[in-house]
């Protein structure tokens, strides 16, 4: 028996060899991992990949958004994803037979449809489906999620006012209205076209609102000039204890109560499912992320238990 039993020294040597192999394998795996940074592949990769993601020129802070979408696509399609900005696209049509093209936004969708004319283009984050496209994912999230979140934080709210850009489809407004009604909330939608309109509306609405009024301020409205609008909105919100929520996490960080935003990795996976799906029409994304500003919540009289705070993906203290 003793002769067949390995010695302790031999066991230690075997363990060291195994640990070395594991470390080597991990290094190789890490080397083969795709870059997690912003996608900036060449136009050739953009053209040759079986799945192509076409996106507009995005703000630098949103580079990570494109990367998350691509990661979701890869996870679900198990295929190489060519990422192209609109500027990277060639001037003429490409051989797109057998390719799947995903376009972010209306401009990218139009450009992709033009270039990849023989491939199906799936638009995402669009206000409504462009023509000649079968299916896509909306820019907007399901309004029920917002209403439910508002209800959860401010049960006393009885009015919801949506301040949106005037290019929002009426269908979405109707959906919101329906969602509000489902929660027995009165609903009002105000569209704005210019910065001055936005400021006047904000001045009018927020200064007249109270704790029972929930204000849904679209990010694209604040984004007209967040430096001007946001301080006043936050100040009025705090003064009048008005819950103001939005669809941009950054604005929550700067003082709004909460935001419901896309989970862009899930968005990638969803659009991957949509590529091979026979479904038609635009649909809301399934995955969302919720962000809460704890200090604003406290300022306007909302005191959340820890368990409820943990339901948010991010909480700014």
> What is the binding site for another protein (CB under 8 A)?
55-59, 62, 65-66, 104-107, 125-127, 139, 167, 194-196, 199-200, 202-203, 219-220, 223-225, 228-229, 231-232, 247-248
Taking the complex as a whole, how short is the minimal distance between the CB of residue 65 and another protein, in angstroms?
A: 6
Distance CA 43, CA 65 (A): 20
Gyration radius of the chain's alpha carbons: 24
Q: Of 79 and 228, which CB lies nearer to another protein in the complex structure?
A: 228
Q: Of 41 and 106, which CB lies nearer to another protein in the complex structure?
A: 106
Distance CA 279, CA 183 (A): 29
Both tokens of 128, joined, read 């409504």
The answer to whether residues 255 and 296 touch, using CB atoms and an 8 Å cutoff, is yes
Q: Of 65 and 185, which CB lies nearer to another protein in the complex structure?
A: 65
Taking the complex as a whole, how short is the minimal distance between the CB of residue 227 and another protein, in angstroms?
A: 8
| Closest by Cα among 178, 61, 171, 46 to 112 | 46
Taking the complex as a whole, how short is the minimal distance between the CB of residue 19 and another protein, in angstroms?
A: 45
Taking the complex as a whole, how short is the minimal distance between the CB of residue 125 and another protein, in angstroms?
A: 6
Distance CA 166, CA 191 (A): 4
- As beta bridge partners, residue 315 has 292
Q: Of 93 and 194, which CB lies nearer to another protein in the complex structure?
A: 194
Read off φ and ψ for residue 272, nearest 5 degrees. -65, -40
- As beta bridge partners, residue 214 has 160
Q: Of 66 and 121, which CB lies nearer to another protein in the complex structure?
A: 66
Taking the complex as a whole, how short is the minimal distance between the CB of residue 38 and another protein, in angstroms?
A: 13
């Amino acid at each position: 028996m003793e002769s067949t039993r390995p010695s302790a020294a031999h066991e230690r040597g075997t363990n060291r060899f195994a640990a070395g192999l594991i470390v080597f394998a991990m290094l190789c795996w890490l080397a083969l991992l795709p870059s997690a940074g912003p996608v900036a592949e060449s136009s050739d990769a953009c053209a040759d990949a079986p799945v192509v993601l076409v996106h507009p020129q995005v703000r630098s802070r949103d580079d990570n958004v494109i990367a998350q979408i691509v990661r979701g696509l890869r996870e679900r399609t198990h295929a190489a994803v060519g990422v192209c900005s609109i500027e990277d696209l060639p001037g003429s049509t490409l051989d797109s037979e057998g390719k799947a093209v995903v376009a972010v936004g209306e401009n990218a969708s139009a450009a992709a449809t033009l270039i990849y004319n023989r491939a199906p283009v799936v638009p995402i984050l669009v206000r409504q489906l462009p023509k000649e496209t079968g299916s896509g994912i909306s820019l907007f999230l399901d309004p029920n999620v917002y209403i439910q979140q508002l209800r959860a934080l401010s049960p006393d709210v009885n009015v919801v006012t949506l301040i949106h850009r005037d290019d929002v489809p009426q269908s979405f407004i109707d959906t919101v209205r329906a969602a509000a009604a489902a929660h027995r909330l009165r609903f009002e939608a105000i569209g704005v076209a210019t910065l001055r309109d936005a400021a006047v509306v904000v001045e009018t609405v927020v200064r007249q609102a109270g704790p029972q009024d929930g204000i849904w301020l679209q990010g694209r409205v604040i984004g007209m000039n967040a430096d001007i609008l946001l301080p006043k909105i936050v100040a009025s919100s705090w003064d009048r204890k008005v819950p103001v929520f939005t669809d941009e996490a950054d604005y929550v960080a700067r003082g709004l109560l909460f935001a419901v935003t896309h989970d862009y990795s899930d968005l990638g996976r969803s659009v991957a499912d949509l590529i091979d799906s026979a479904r038609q029409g635009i649909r809301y994304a399934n995955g969302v992320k919720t962000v809460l500003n704890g200090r604003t919540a406290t300022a306007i009289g909302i005191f959340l238990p820890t368990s409820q705070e943990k339901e948010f993906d991010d909480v700014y203290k």
